[in-house]
Amino acid sequence: MVSRVIPVDPFDLVIFGGTGDLAKRKILPGLFIRFRAGQMPEDSRIIGAARADLDDAGFRKMAQAALTEFVARDKLDAEVMGRFLQRLHYVSIDATGEGGWTELAGLMRPGVVRAFYFSVAPSLFGDLAERLHAHGIAEPQSRIVVEKPFGRDLASAEALNAVLAAHFDERQIYRIDHYLGKETVQNLMAVRFANILFEPVWNAQYVDHVQITVAETVGVGGRGSYYDKSGAMRDMVQNHMMQLLCLIAMEPPYKFDPNAVRDEKLKVIRALEPVPPEDIVRGQYRGVPGKDGRDGKAEPSYVEDVGDPQSRTESYIALKVRVANWRWQGTPFYLRTGKKLRGRTSEIAIVFKEAPHSLFGENESWKANVLTIRLQPNEGMNLSVMIKEPGPGGMRLTDVPLDMSFADALGEEGTDIPDAYERLIMDVIRGNQTLFMRGDEVEAAWAWTDPIIKGWEERGDRPRGYDPYSSGPEDALMLLHRDGRRWREIRE
């Protein structure tokens, strides 16, 4: 299968925070890959803007080191790299003062798409937006890109939205949730809405429950100071997992159009019921002293990682979520995510109800159909179906997977799955907001999240300990057991 690459229009992309971690790990590598693929036109430019006192040559050197570190070796052609680095420029800028702004204004070219990536602390959004306008750099068609965390509660998200809205229209604002840029996540929409098979059974009449798992093996490591103020609920559930839930639960949009899709997602978020304490399990990973941890090393506990023995922040959370509308009445969505779990697995499992009548009699191996959408690793889908066990000896049934790994089905194109950032940055340039969160969506998500967090803070709940590289706290098992269900295994 030959992939079609349609070049985007030429652009000037200014990355505020251009020397930061995100620029090095994701933004520059993503742009490089798109440049290599022929999607980023040769006459586009990437302008790093940060406080550091660098010139173009210094920025290019930094970028080269970052690409060498973060781009797969087989994609690092020297000739392409040389051409790409020529597209890079740098302005040393003072976000809260006047330094560098005239120079930046002088660099901007008329007639090309202008985009500004705010890869900086949210407290600087207002300063940047104001100066972009004061210096005539922002135009009515310019776009700005902002990252999560978008606020830490409803009030702060509203304040951020207000700061941005004072300078930009909603159609100019691209709020990134990188989960929406993942290929399989978009495939979820394709599967649901481009096939006739699934939609008729995609409701409470046929779906017993849904499980959404985002398990990671890494701990909080060097991100402790950020993470300890967030916890799994703010870091993963309010945004990434909420987006996954929306794509599963939403009604079919009337077309694949930014507002049509986002309107439907918003309706789902607004339909989420408050979650009572008994439907929440929070956990914190324990440590392993001496040489008893993985690879014969000690494993620091969560509180050691964040340097606060009293921390009550969760590195794991499981929740039973109800979507209060006709389609989902009685079908719970179980969500779980955590650090230092036994495998790096992200998947959505749609667990269907059992067939209503067992015409083959009692059968112990009888299982309900499950549609599993694997986000990572090994992106793909799997539908378990019951068949007859081969051979004579009666009508014995067994379940087999109808497995579609994208790598197997699509060959090279299936293995070469683009990083979410590649896709999302190109969408910004194309002016397509479908895979970005609208301001009201983010606020609605916080409006649901806030009382949950406030509840456990007021109750003074402590997270349960769990062993590193386990499946999480024991209590999380109960969340499903008491409903007569089981979590799917987190594979190593």
Per CB under 6 A, residues contacting ligand BG6 are 148, 178, 216, 235, 346
Alpha helices in 71-172 (DSSP H): 78-86, 101-107, 125-134, 154-165
Residues catalogued as catalytic: 240
Give residue 364's identity as a one-letter amino acid code.
E
CB closer to ligand BG6, 45 vs 240: 240
Sorted by sequence, the CB contacts under 8 Å of residue 78 that are 6+ apart come out as none
What's the CA gap between 425 and 174, in Å, rounded? Answer: 10
CB closer to ligand BG6, 178 vs 340: 178
Q: How far is the CB of 111 from ligand BG6 (least distance, A)?
A: 35
Q: How far is the CB of 235 from ligand BG6 (least distance, A)?
A: 5
Q: How far is the CB of 204 from ligand BG6 (least distance, A)?
A: 29
What's the CA gap between 125 and 140, in Å, rounded? Answer: 18
CB closer to ligand BG6, 137 vs 176: 176
Sorted by sequence, the CB contacts under 8 Å of residue 335 that are 6+ apart come out as 211, 212, 237, 241, 245, 317, 318, 319, 321
The torsion angles phi and psi of 368, rounded to 5 degrees, stand at -75, 155
CB closer to ligand BG6, 234 vs 320: 234
Q: How far is the CB of 354 from ligand BG6 (least distance, A)?
A: 32
What's the CA gap between 82 and 71, in Å, rounded? Answer: 15
Q: How far is the CB of 26 from ligand BG6 (least distance, A)?
A: 10
CB closer to ligand BG6, 92 vs 345: 345
> Cβ-closest residue to ligand BG6?
235
What's the CA gap between 15 and 172, in Å, rounded? Answer: 16
Residue from 56, 126, 106 nearest 85 by CA: 56
Judge whether 172 and 428 are in contact, CB under 8 Å.
no
Structure tokens at 285: 């990973």
